[in-house]
Structure 1
Amino acid sequence: MPGLVLIKWFSFAEQQSYRALIQLENAREIEEKMKEIAPIERYGKTFDMPLNDLTFGLAPGGTVVVWIMNGAENAIEVGRYEASEIETHPEHYREITERYNRDSRDYIEKHGIPIDGW
């Protein structure tokens, strides 16, 4: 289990880059919790599996949420962090940004960039 994680990402919605150096203060506790078995339903059957996925959610505004899970239906939040804005070079992401804007424009115009609720 890593105790320290560095994440950098580019938010297409905001055209902004972020950086977070995350210290998992309770890494040993998280690792033990990940060994716990939880039911998960797949293909019409229920399976008992450990919570062996450590997932980092990167949200607009620089929020990073960390979960453990074996499926989204039983995710357990184990940490919430704030990233720092870093120098951005949107031109490096021009093509994929154009595709993102095409796919997301209507939603963002109607609802705005979803910064809260993560």
Structure 2
Amino acid sequence: MVRGDPIDRRLRTLVLLGLLLGLAGCAGGAHRLPYDSWRLGLFAPNYMEVWIETADAVDVQDRVFRRAMNGVAAINTPKNLKGDPRGWPTRSGAGAGKQVLGADLPRLVYVRWQSLAEPQTYEAYIVIPEATRRAMVKPETGYCPARGIWREDYRDMLTVGLAPGGIARVWLMGGCLSAIDVVRVQGTVVKKGPYGGKSGGQHRPLSATSKAYIEKYGIPYGSW
């Protein structure tokens, strides 16, 4: 279970950034979500493996949910090296993630990750637009392929794609609703390196399959 706690010094900048941009929305008043929780998921392009050190969420009440997600991002690594990492999929999946329990609508998401393909460590501050929050509480009718039915649903899943070069791309989707493109963010290099400098500059190892692909075809910078 992921729960909120007081805002620490590291994330204070994150919160102030949103306030300065005027995206606090209904700060001070609860949104009364029409569902129990929303989901934060992350993925990476084929072979471009990512290790998430932390993905922290800040809701509209300025509560921080640290490590709302961490660990391995969802990815495909076909062993025949026929996967294509260029660009983003036309229909992104939900990614590897967790439900952010007890949170109001999201205002900011902070992600710090190791791009194992390079290797490099990045961080990105992602401001969630007010229009996205409105879409999260708007019911819509959509088709559910798994059940073969039409039903009313909500877009309650934020999915973040992480690519080499520090690129973070965000979509909003629902189980039975199509994805909406939210924002593209250029992250920055974490100067202390992986794990806040506690690993002597050593990143997590790249899998043999991804290493073989990159050695043969390289990294398609500029395609994301």
Determine if the TM-score, normalized by the shorter chain, exceeds 0.5: yes
The equivalent residue for 2:202 is 91
Name the aligned partner's letter for residue 68 of structure 1: L
CA shift, 1:85, in A, is 0.6
Specify the alignment match of 1:104 in structure 2: 210
**Residue 135 (structure 2) aligns with:** 33
Identity rate, percent:
36
Residue range with higher mean Cα deviation, 73-82 or 10-19: 73-82
- The 3-state SS of whatever aligns with 2:135 is helix
Equivalent in 41, 47, 50 of residue 154 of structure 2: 50
Give the one of 150, 160, 164 matched to 1:60. Answer: 164
Shift of 1:70: 2.1
Question: How far off is 1:47 after superposition?
Answer: 4.5
Distance 1:113 1:92 in 2: 18
The CA distance in 2 between the partners of 1:59 and 1:65, in whole Å, is 8
Indicate which of 51, 58, 76 corresponds to 2:180.
76
Counterparts of 1:36 and 1:60, CA distance in 2: 35
Shift of the 12–92 alpha-carbon distance from structure 1 to 2, 3 Å rule, reads: closer
Which structure features the higher share of helix residues? 1
Alignment partners' CA distance in 1, 2:114 and 2:157? 23
Q: Which runs of 4+ in 1 moved over 6 A?
A: none
Between Structure 1 and Structure 2, how many residues are aligned?
A: 110
Normalising by structure 1, report the TM-score. Answer: 0.77
Q: Is the 8 A contact 1:40 1:70 kept in 2?
A: no
